[in-house]
Amino acid sequence: MISEILQGLFKHVDSFLMSCLLFTMLVGLFVLYSASGQSFDRVSAQLVNIAVALSVMWLTANIPPQHLERAAVPIYVFGVILLIGVALFGDVSHGARRWLNLGITKIQPSEIMRIAVPLMLAWFFSKRERSHRVSDFVIAAALLLIPVALIIKQPDLGTALLISASGFFVLFLAGLSWRFLIGGAVAIGALAPIFWSMLHDYQRKRIEILIDPSQDPLGAGYHTIQATIALGSGGMTGKGWLNGTQAQLDFLPERTTDFIFAVFGEEFGMIGNLMLLTLFSLIIIRGIMIASQAKSTFTRLLAGSITLTFFTYAFVNIGMVSGVLPVVGVPLPLISYGGTSMVTLLLGFGILMSIQTHKKLVASG
């Protein structure tokens, strides 16, 4: 009886993907405990975040993909309206207007668009799966650029880049020609001076620091310098859990969020980094398998975008901490402290599980 109940509860949970996610989040809790100065309060708060995110993932996994497809347009329109609301009435904090006060609570609508954009674009191309014309990609690009432009205006470059990536992956998987990709890259290169002039001063500073962090070692370059010192001092095997000097002696800033990978690298070394990258790779490989086995254009595009966006999260954060990419404020997925990013990530994995498990039900039916 109990086994039947458990089987029913976890019918739409992909066991391999779930195992990888749980093990990665467990590693994250150990690293967070060290990075937070052995704070049980911070770890307890993250446990609550994980519990909420897992609940959201389970609920999403039980929603059939066809229901998600029908909800794609309303979710996208609702998210864009909220972004417009942020631009007009949003609360300003630390020079950025990213939050919308609803009276009862505050929300950050840009987080909704991380799922809404790939949902909308996957729906759009699923309705045009017989033939994709140039005009279809132009319309899809416009659907992507509208929320991205509103988010850049806040400004929130990190989230804008992630949403741009999630939308681009849908366009690419839908069959975007290599000629357009090469042409777009050339156009971006030609327009680089214009884009440079549109950046805020702190954003330009981050790119300059990427080239030479030593030009402002106690200011804008401090994060990058301390992170690379932490990674380098970890060596092959690391200094051991709770023994990382850069984190424990408070040299490393943002060590529980954006720069937690530096803490991990210092304490567990190259071997630990490779193990973490292996976990990320297993999650990505499973996501790609689910996308390749999807039964419809909508589910294939959506699963592919979610998986590749997770890869982008990890790639950008690790590149940022390693000093090969500019600092853009992207957390390390499943490891960094934070409730919003955890919920958004596991919501995406819930969609992957829904695509995989409901596909089996349809096939057996």
20 in Cβ contact with 310 (< 8 Å): no
Residues in the chain: 365
| CB neighbour burial string for 237-253, b if at least 16 within 10 angstroms, e if fewer | ebbeeeebebbbeebbe
Query: Which amino acid, residue 157?
Result: L
Instruction: Please tell me the predicted confidence (pLDDT) of residue 94.
Output: 65
Instruction: Please tell me the predicted confidence (pLDDT) of residue 178.
Output: 74
Q: In the structure, what pLDDT confidence band is assigned to residue 252 with cuts at 50, 70 and 90?
A: confident
- pLDDT tens sequence across 146-204: 999 999 888 788 888 899 999 999 999 988 877 777 877 787 777 777 776 767 676 67
**4: pLDDT strictly greater than 70:** no
The Cα–Cα gap between 141 and 139 comes to: 5
- Taking the CB of residue 142, how many other CB atoms lie within 10 A of it? 9
- pLDDT tens sequence across 347-361: 999 999 999 988 754
Please state which of the ranges 59-73, 178-192, 224-238 shows the lowest mean pLDDT.
Answer: 178-192
Long-range CB pairs of 298-301, under 8 A, 24+ apart, other chains included: 298/65, 298/69, 298/122, 298/123, 298/125, 298/126, 299/65, 299/122, 299/355, 299/359, 300/173, 301/118, 301/121, 301/122, 301/125, 301/126, 301/170, 301/173, 301/174
Dihedral of CA 99/102/104/107: which sign?
Answer: negative
Instruction: State mean pLDDT over 337-346.
Output: 90
- What are the distances in angstroms from CA 279 to CA 22, 303, 334? 10, 19, 11
The Cα–Cα gap between 97 and 251 comes to: 30
Q: What does the block give as tokens for 305?
A: 């975008």
Instruction: State mean pLDDT over 288-303.
Output: 93
Instruction: Please tell me the predicted confidence (pLDDT) of residue 56.
Output: 95
**362: pLDDT strictly greater than 50:** no
- pLDDT tens sequence across 313-331: 999 999 999 888 888 878 9
- pLDDT tens sequence across 24-43: 999 999 999 999 989 999 99
Average pLDDT, whole number, for the chain? 86
Long-range CB pairs of 137-142, under 8 A, 24+ apart, other chains included: 137/171, 137/174, 137/176, 137/180, 140/167, 140/170, 140/171, 140/174, 141/171
Q: In the structure, what pLDDT confidence band is assigned to residue 365 with cuts at 50, 70 and 90?
A: very low
Q: Cis ω on the peptide bond leading into residue 65 (within 30° of 0)?
A: no
Query: Which amino acid, residue 242?
Result: L
Query: Closest Cα partner for 288 from 243, 352, 342?
Result: 352
Residue 184, H or E segment: helix 178-190
Q: In the structure, what pLDDT confidence band is assigned to residue 77 with cuts at 50, 70 and 90?
A: very high
Helical residues (DSSP H) of 234-296, grouped into ranges: 245-248, 260-292
**8: pLDDT strictly greater than 70:** no
Query: Which amino acid, residue 247?
Result: A
- pLDDT tens sequence across 79-134: 999 999 888 887 777 667 777 777 766 778 888 899 999 999 999 999 887 767 88
The Cα–Cα gap between 317 and 322 comes to: 8
The Cα–Cα gap between 322 and 325 comes to: 8
Q: Is 28 left (phi over 0), alpha (psi -120 to 50) or beta?
A: alpha
Query: Which amino acid, residue 335?
Result: I
Phi, psi of 91 (to 5 degrees): -75, 140
236 in Cβ contact with 274 (< 8 Å): no
